[in-house]
């Protein structure tokens, strides 16, 4: 379902459309370690840029006696020593601002008092990315890696959508950040011929698709030098929800009712959740985690996990635990299995 622009002549937003009693199937494939990798990329780029700035100042110091320039040199050395220890949340902004205001702004003056610094300044300026105005080589490589992983996951999911739509017509909304999450809604409000068998078939197909995403991640990691793993999680809910599509909102669908809002709270926080006893993250790279709350949900999904093992998609060992409370939502449990690479 696509949104139409409002405000154009003769074009008016459609009235909100309500879909009652549809089944939600939510899943996420998250890139674990992406924040750490980005911080390392920021650190690498900043050290490179500060090193180039130090080369400029060293050139000037070698020929010009100036107390302020000597202090600037010591500032740069101190910043580099701090960067070597790690990166802080605000370092990317504050350190780049320092270079722009305290170093780059004085380049014209530095070339006047030391013409020999012109070459070092040119090397500094050539290293700056035109779009970002700073050294961005490591971050560009990081962005490319994340984009490649997201593209792989998105393409894999689009391929599986063909078989899933053949089971029953449904809405599927994909969102890509550091990984891919999908939100499926299925039910008679969308497909009048919808049956319980189609629901179970769709749920099992969702798990098979997640296993394939995991396998694609294994293959990509084997081909490329990637330090990040991919975690995979499915959130089970046996109860239906009511959803509404409103042209005036940015979301494809919004849920209605307090019970459905509870589901949204869990959905937003479940990927970062931890085991209530061990404190371990319930999601682990290369593994499929199923989160549920009711015994009947577990009976259904335990059978699906057995089917996945029969297909050679996962190991037979099942880890289980209780999820820590999430903003007042308690009683969630999880099961976790290791996905097997394709042979």
What are the pLDDT digits (tens) for 254-294?
A: 666 555 667 778 888 898 999 999 999 999 999 999 999 99
At residue 184 the predicted structure's pLDDT band, cuts being 50, 70 and 90, is very high
Cβ(27)–Cβ(160) below 8 Å: no
156 and 103 share a domain?
no
Q: Which H or E run includes 336?
A: strand 333-338
- How do residues 222-265 score in pLDDT, each as one tens digit? 888 888 999 999 999 998 988 876 665 556 666 665 556 677 78
Higher pLDDT, 6 or 70: 70
Residue 229 structural domain = 17-33+142-338
Distance of alpha carbon 335 from the chain centroid: 22
196 and 303 share a domain?
yes
- Final residue before a domain boundary, out of 87, 115, 139: 139
Cβ(335)–Cβ(270) below 8 Å: no
What is the structure's pLDDT at 251?
Answer: 60
What is the number of domains present in the chain? 2
Residue partners of 227: CB distance under 8 A and separation at least 6: 33, 37
Is 322 a member of any domain? yes
What percent of the chain is predicted at pLDDT more than 90? 77
At residue 20 the predicted structure's pLDDT band, cuts being 50, 70 and 90, is confident
Which residues in 120-157 are b (16+ Cβ under 10 Å) and which e? bbeebeebbeeeeebbbebbeebeebbeebbebbbebb
Q: Is the pLDDT of residue 108 over 50?
A: yes
- Final residue before a domain boundary, out of 97, 118, 139: 139
Higher pLDDT, 256 or 311: 311
């Amino acid at each position: 379902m696509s949104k139409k622009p409002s405000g154009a002549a003769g074009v008016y937003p459609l009235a909100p459309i309500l879909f009652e009693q549809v089944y939600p199937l939510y899943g996420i494939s998250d890139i674990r370690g992406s924040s750490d990798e980005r911080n390392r990329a920021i650190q690498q780029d900043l050290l490179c840029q500060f090193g180039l700035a130090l080369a400029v100042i060293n050139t000037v110091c070698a020929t010009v006696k100036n107390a302020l320039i000597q202090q600037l040199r010591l500032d740069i050395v101190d910043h580099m020593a701090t960067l070597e220890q790690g990166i802080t949340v605000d370092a990317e902004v504050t350190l780049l601002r320092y270079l722009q205001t305290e170093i780059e702004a004085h380049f014209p003056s530095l070339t006047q008092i030391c013409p020999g610094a012109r070459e070092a300044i040119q090397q500094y300026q050539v290293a700056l990315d035109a779009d970002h105005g700073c050294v961005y080589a490591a971050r560009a490589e990081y962005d490319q890696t994340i984009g490649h992983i997201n593209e792989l996951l998105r393409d894999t999911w689009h391929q599986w959508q063909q078989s899933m739509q053949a089971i029953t017509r449904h809405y599927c909304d994909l969102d890509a950040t550091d990984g891919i999450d999908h939100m499926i809604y299925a039910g008679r409000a969308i497909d009048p011929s919808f049956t319980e068998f189609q629901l179970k078939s769709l749920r099992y197909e969702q798990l098979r698709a997640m296993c394939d995403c995991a396998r694609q991640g294994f293959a990509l990691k084997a081909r490329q030098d990637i330090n990040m793993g991919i975690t995979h999680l499915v959130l089970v809910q046996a109860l239906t929800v009511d959803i509404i599509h409103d042209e005036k909102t940015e979301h494809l669908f919004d849920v209605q009712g307090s019970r459905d809002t509870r589901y949204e709270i869990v959905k937003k926080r479940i990927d970062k959740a931890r085991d209530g006893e061990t404190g371990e993250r319930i999601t682990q790279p290369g593994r499929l985690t199923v989160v549920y709350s009711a015994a009947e949900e577990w009976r259904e999904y335990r059978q699906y996990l057995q089917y996945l093992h029969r297909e050679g998609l996962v190991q037979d060992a099942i880890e289980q635990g209780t999820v820590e409370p999430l903003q007042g939502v308690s009683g969630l449990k999880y099961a976790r299995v290791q996905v097997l690479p394709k042979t």
